Structure 1
Amino acid sequence: MALIESSILIVDDNDQICESLELFLGRYFSDTTSLSNPNNLIHTLENKYFDVILLDMNFSSGRYSGNEGLFWLKEILKRDKNSVIILITAYGKVELAVNGIKEGAFDFVLKPWENEKLISTIKAGIEIRKSRLEIAELKDQQQILNSTSDKEFFFLKGTSPEMKEIEQIISKVARTDANILVHGENGTGKEIIAREIHRQSKRNGQVFMSVDLSSLTDSLFESELFGYKKGAFTDAKEDRAGKIEVSHKGSLFLDEIGNLPINLQSKLLTVIQTKTITRLGSTQSKKIDFRLICATNKPLNQKIQEGLFREDLLYRINTVQIEIPPLRNRKQDIIPLCEYFLVQQTKKYNKPQMKLSKSALTKLQDYMWPGNVRELKHVIERAVILNSNSQLKPEDFVFSELTENKITDDILNLIELEKLAIKKAVKKAGGNMTKASEILGISRTTLYFKLSKYGF
């Protein structure tokens, strides 16, 4: 007979009973542990996971009230409200059984026990434990997903050869669990690509968990990603699953991975390699099944050369790399995107349907779109809000500061564009090179190199 994969803890002050139960239950369950001193109970629970706990009601000689068992029952549930506890005693009374179940026990068994009844009670307890954990996991997922439910993500198929090639890559990689790295400038739609991969994958019925790594400080990194146990730190009022744990069976999207500090990259690498996490304040590791998709606008190979990114981490995250070209390099997609966003924004603001004039379309196509698709959406949204006419004209569209400098077809030389971008970033940062490098999306070392190269 195959053993049932489960872990059972026996807590009884009688060594003979512990030994007898271990031998008997060992025929049915894969792991049994016994404990004769309840003072070691909490330490044991902090270091090992158990599906069912068999708990004696009385531990001191001459005491038969069951208060000791009720005390330890409360202590266990205080730390894990999903614990399944079966109370067991030689001095059972109906009142004692009722009190125990009222306090949160799953069931009550008398000594001497009936073997068949004991086994069936434990089996039922294992199923209840599984159900409780599944419900807790769903609640954790819902709590985190509620915070991002207002985001709008839609994958609009492009007409350009570049986007058609990306669509083909997505259809191939989505069927696998290969790790994907999406690279592209800010605003190109890296998260939309990641969500489309998830939508076409076998995990599409499960959670898509998006994490912006650039927003996590060193102190928040572990608690947000790995979760924590109650009491792990001052504000840890209750157990909480981390975002990696919530992504179990689904897809985990790590945005801005190029911004992750080097001292935190080793922790992330360990999780990716082992697919296990340990909550803060706990010593128990948990296996997590997730599909990994990462995104960055940084040149990671260059960051490796600068000692700012781990080479072994890059190898882990980019089994397949998808490069999203900037909008200025795929002009064919501008009109379809404009038309889509126009319909979307008129519905959002309860405006009558609007159209774009030919001259407006020309202006939109000629613009360089340094902010890519994100900027295009914002430009259309602003025009819809401020206009009450049925047709939008060129003057209805206001571009960023770059427009004032005539960044159109007049300047197509990439070196000149780069020089201008560096000048504007340094000016905007007030001469602060760290801020300027962040605006440009490059490292400070690279910025100094380019300043020297262009003779600034």
Structure 2
Amino acid sequence: MNKILIIDASDSDCRLMSGLLTRAGYEPIAVENLEAAKDEVEKLPPGAVIVTAMKFTRGTAQELINWQKREGYRFPVIAIVDNLNPNDLLELMRSGGTVDAIQRPAIDKQLVETVQKYIMDIESVSHDNELIHRPSKEFQRIEREITRIAAADANVIIFGESGMGKEQIAREIFRQSNRTDKPLIVIEAGGAALVGEHKPDSEKSEMYNRIGGYFKKAARGTIILKNVHLLNFDKQSVVLHILSEDHPDVRVICTAEPELLEMVSDKSFRSNLFFNLREMDITVKPLRKVTEDIEPVAEFYLMQYAKEHNEPEKNLDQSAVKALNKHDWPGNIRELKNVIQLAAGNVVGNLITSSDLSISRSSPDIPDTMRLRDPKVEKQRIADALTQTSGNITQAAKLLGISRTTLTYKIKQSGLKSDLK
């Protein structure tokens, strides 16, 4: 639950704001003077927001902002203004202190909506979202690309296999951009967040309102759209409409598996949306092609495990390093993390050997004979794959070497839908 620090000398307004924020699902903390505010800021978790009066007991909003900057805190500050004085507010904005303002007489109407613009998910700063710095030339290239793209303020697609840290790269682009003081919204394209019925003849459909709501919440900020290749055709249409017709001031950073390019080619992903989203791009090679990064990444997770469990850091012996380097890592960095953390938790002593590593040697194998390469026999290949998998579209897609979304589209095109179980 996100915490909101309220600093105001008015007891009645503090109670009003606390009640509004509690009902909205936040955890308010109310204080009335500068010293108490400093104490609370030091305890605030990531993702918190500060709501403060311009003047309060023994302090002002400007004093709090100056203190925050000296101490290195970067919590968004929303000012409560009694009489909207453009000069005072402009001075606060110029100093990089406040992100927005609420007029005191309109607290009940403006508070929750304004706070929602700047609240950040607490999980956005967890260890799982750290960008792991690695020594390979490939990763050094990616770091240069991140810096270049962050400054360009363009929409981006980050291509790469599952488990290669695409979201971490997306977040690093955000952190290096000029939008860091604005909202960051992270959405899983294949998740429940975008579920809703789409009615093409109505812009007020549930799906349109839901997706449009995220863009409004992210105004002047950034949306990270994870696994954009999982958007179905209706959702693609809604996102395209929002980008091309509403022109929101929102930067969109997408992650996608390489199959997105195939989906654009076979028209299961709208090319006009693709080019709206891919103004710039980064391609991340799989771990098996950047083997010099395997050992440093493993050591990073050993260090992280030691910190989280308050234990001495464990080390890899040469047999363990050799075993790690021999594996293909079909699950990439995510798989490596799981193997390392499992070994760190189970090993006796502080030295990890190859026998302590639980590396799975089984991975999905895509028979070359089942891949869709010849359009003339495509329908029969799809039918054969569906027969082999008893109509299971997900398993059939794996046999054919394409995405589930692409296969569903091809099934409809080929008229095989009635044969599905």
- For residues 330 and 322 of structure 1, the distance between their equivalents in structure 2, rounded to whole angstroms, comes to 16
- Displacement after TM superposition at 1:447 (Å): 10
Query: Does structure 1 conserve the Cα–Cα contact (< 8 Å) formed by 2:207 and 2:235?
Result: no
Greater shift after overlay, 291-300 or 330-339?
Answer: 291-300
Q: Say which of 215, 219, 224 aligns to 2:196.
A: 219
Q: CA deviation at 1:441?
A: 5.5
Q: 2:342 aligns with which of 370, 378, 382?
A: 382
1:348 aligns with 2:311: no
Counterpart in the other structure of 2:222: 251
CA RMSD of aligned residues (A): 3.8
Question: Contact 2:157–2:277 at 8 Å: present in 1 too?
Answer: yes
**Whole-angstrom distance in 2 between the partners of 1:133 and 1:332:** 55
- Deviation of the 1:199 alpha carbon: 0.7
Give the TM-score of the pair, scaled to structure 2. Answer: 0.60
Q: CA deviation at 1:375?
A: 0.7
Unaligned runs of 5+ in 2: 1-23, 25-81, 87-100, 199-204, 372-384, 412-421
Instruction: Quote the offset at 1:354 in angstroms.
Output: 0.4
Q: Which of residues 113, 117, 121 is equivalent to 1:137?
A: 113
**CA radius of gyration, larger in:** 1
Alignment coverage as a number of residue pairs = 292
8 Å Cα contact 1:225/1:244 also seen in 2: no
1:165 to 128, 141, 150: 141
CA distance in 2, matches of 1:367, 1:253: 31
Aligned pair 1:152/2:128, yes or no?
A: yes
Is 1:198 aligned with 2:174?
yes
* C-alpha deviation, 1:145, in angstroms: 1.9
CA contact (8 A) 1:225 1:243 kept: no
Instruction: Provide closer, same or farther for how the CA distance between residues 143 and 175 of structure 1 changes in structure 2, counting only shifts above 3 A.
Output: closer
* Aligned counterparts, 1:320-335, within 5 A: 320-335=280-295
Q: State the distance in 2 between where 1:346 and 1:447 align.
A: 49
Shift of 1:325: 0.5
Correspondence for 2:61: none
Q: Which among 297, 300, 318 is matched to residue 260 of structure 2?
A: 300
The change in CA–CA distance for 1:224 and 1:366 in structure 2 (over 3 A counts) is farther
State the distance in 2 between where 1:249 and 1:375 align: 36
**Matches of 1:242 and 1:447 in 2, distance apart?**
32
Q: Deviations over 1:259-287 (max 9, x none)?
A: 111122111011112446xxxxxxxxxxx
| Normalised TM-score (structure 1) | 0.56
1:368 partner amino acid: D
Q: 1:176 aligns with which of 152, 159, 170?
A: 152
Change (3 A) 1:331 1:133: farther
Q: Is the 2:195–2:207 contact (alpha carbons within 8 Å) kept by the matching residues of 1? A: no
Give, in angstroms, the shift of residue 153 of structure 1: 1.0
- Which residue type is aligned with residue 393 of structure 2? T
Deviation at 1:134, TM superposition (A): 6.0
Residue 291 of structure 1 corresponds to: 251
Against the structure 1 CA distance between its residues 147 and 353, is the aligned structure 2 distance closer, same or farther, given a 3 Å change threshold? closer
Partner of 1:63 in structure 2? Answer: none
Shift, 1:223, TM fit: 5.5
1:419 to 347, 353, 367: 367
CA positional deviation for 1:245: 2.1
Identity of aligned residues (%): 25
Q: How big is each residue's C-alpha offset from its partner over 1:337-356, in whole Å with a ceiling of 9 and x where there is no partner?
A: 01101100122233321000
Secondary structure of residue in 1 paired with 2:302: helix
> Aligned partner of 1:343: which letter?
M
Contact 2:163 / 2:335 at 8 angstroms: preserved in 1? yes
Relative distance call for 1:263 and 1:366 in structure 2 (3 A) is same
| Alpha-carbon distance in 1 for matches of 2:340, 2:175 | 27
**CA apart distance, 1:141:** 4.7
**Gap change, CA 1:123 and 1:192, over 3 Å in 2:** closer
Structure 1 residues 86-145: Cα deviation after superposition (integer angstroms, max 9, x where no partner): xxxxxxxxxxxxxxxxxxxxxxxxxxxxxxxxxx99999994578766632343257672
Partner of 1:112: none
Label 1:275 to 1:445 Cα distance change in 2 as closer, same or farther (>3 A).
closer
Q: How does 1:46-445 map to 2 (within 5 A)?
A: 127-128=103-104, 135-141=111-117, 145-146=121-122, 152-216=128-192, 218-219=195-196, 226-227=209-210, 242-275=213-246, 288-402=248-362, 418-419=366-367, 430-437=389-396, 442=403, 443-444=406-407
Contiguous gaps of at least 5 residues in structure 1: 1-80, 82-119, 229-240, 277-287, 406-416, 449-456
Matched residue type, 1:272: L
